Amino acid sequence: MKKWLDLNAFLGVPATSWVYAGIAAVLGYVVLSALLRFVVARLEKFAQRTSTRLDDLAVEVLKSTQYLAIFMASLLFGAGFLDLNDKWDTRISHLWFLVIGFQIAAWINRGVTVWTAGRLSDVNASAHNPVLTTMLSWMLRGLLWSVLLLAVMANMGVNITAFVASLGVGGVAVALAVQSILSDLFASLAIGLDKPFEVGDFIVFGDIAGSIEHIGLKTTRIRSLSGEEIVCGNTQLLKNTIHNYKRMSERRILFGFGVTYDATVDQLRAIPDAVKAAVEEAGNTRFDRAHFKQFGESSLDFEVVYYVTDPGYNLYMDIQQKINLDLIAQFSAIGVEFAFPTQTLHVESDFAGSTGPARHSSTPIQALRN
């Protein structure tokens, strides 16, 4: 049998060498597959005993190893036992680079995928906005496969300088054609980096008010107070002044009221103390000031400022209602009346005598309240 193998050849290579190459390829595949399973099993046990994500990431990356790549590597390993000419040696070296390069790219791509999924599902992540994570994922994948493609072409002897230059010119043309889309993409990147708002924040800009539901690569979706969904381009959104009410630490409240002109000086002096007591008793408040502000057309006007220590709007309305009811009760106790617009009408009468000049008198006869 050995003699027959030595006497016969295929493609100029003795059959014995082909047998050795086949045995080497089979053994290489078995050894590499077993080694991969052993390393993954050991690493999984180690990852279960730790709380870090790095070892979990390594397990997921190794699990993504392509058995086709192992098979091709085994064939190339077996081909090393063949006595081939220089031309085939060069081709085999190119194939080695191709197999190893694609496998490394597949590992990195899997690592980026696992990292992206972990960031998007982690509610405790520093960036709740998924835009930055998604953009980085796309950029890393694009850079990875571009570098691999150029490296493979350069390894095969292709002059990539002209190719890269043509890609640059083509990229400029495409960018000009889709500049509005790219503008929104870069605006979404700015939202991810600067974080003017996040999902769940209540914002107001222009005549639109609502809660952020989704921040996409091109548009942001807002649920308005009336219930409909508003879709706004990221570029157009960032051009506006945005009021983010979710990030208020407290709410400043300014309100005023007026009392009638028949209030006495002592009653007017007692009003700021009564307002302060009403504000402090409402709870979750910090009193700032209460002043007799001005003489109005039909009232003596007061101005009050206080802070609600919780930014919730419903809580603010409950507190303001409690303060208003308390002021009505306190003013009624001290005999002060709230003012409302009034107007006094003066009627001028003529009394003409038969022997003398007419006499004129002006007497207020009625006060009309409107």
Q: Evaluate if residue 274 carries a pLDDT over 90.
A: yes
Give the pLDDT band (50/70/90) at residue 159: confident
% of the chain beyond a pLDDT of 70: 79
Q: Which residue has the higher pLDDT, 157 or 142?
A: 142
Give the pLDDT band (50/70/90) at residue 194: confident
Q: Evaluate if residue 188 carries a pLDDT over 70.
A: yes
Q: What are the tens digits of pLDDT across the range 307-337?
A: 999 888 889 999 999 999 999 999 999 999 9
* pLDDT at residue 200, as a whole number: 85
Q: Which residue has the higher pLDDT, 77 or 181?
A: 77
CATH code that applies to domain 182-247 = 2.30.30.60
Q: Which residue has the higher pLDDT, 351 or 186?
A: 186
* pLDDT at residue 249, as a whole number: 84
Q: Evaluate if residue 171 carries a pLDDT over 70.
A: no
3-state secondary structure the chain: CHHHHHHCEECCEEHHHHHHHHHHHHHHHHHHHHHHHHHHHHHHHHHHCCCCCHHHHHHHHHHCCCHHHHHHHHHHHHHCCCCCCHHHHHHHHHHHHHHHHHHHHHHHHHHHHHHHHHHHHCCCCCCCCHHHHHHHHHHHHHHHHHHHHHHHHHHCCCCHHHHHHHHHHHHHHHHHHCHHHHHHHHHHHHHHHHCCCCCCCEEEECCEEEEEEEECCCEEEEEECCCCEEEEEHHHHHCCCCEEHHHCCCEEEEEEEEECCCCCHHHHHHHHHHHHHHHHHHCCEEEEEEEEEEECCCCEEEEEEEEECCCCHHHHHHHHHHHHHHHHHHHHHHCCCECCCEEEEEEEEEECCCCCCCEEEEEEEEEEEC
% of the chain beyond a pLDDT of 90: 24
* pLDDT at residue 230, as a whole number: 92
Mean pLDDT of 225-238: 89
Q: Evaluate if residue 365 carries a pLDDT over 50.
A: no
CATH topology of domain 251-342: Alpha-Beta Plaits (3.30.70)
Mean pLDDT (the chain, rounded) = 80
Q: Which of 76-80, 124-128, 224-228, 338-342 has the lowest mean pLDDT?
A: 124-128
Sheet of strand 229-233, all strands in order from the earlier edge strand to the far edge: 229-233, 219-224, 208-215, 202-205, 243-244
Maximum average pLDDT range among 20-24, 117-121, 302-306: 302-306
Mean pLDDT of 148-167: 73
HSE (side-chain half, CA atoms, 13 Å) at 284? 18
Per domain, the residue ranges of the chain are 2-125, 182-247, 251-342
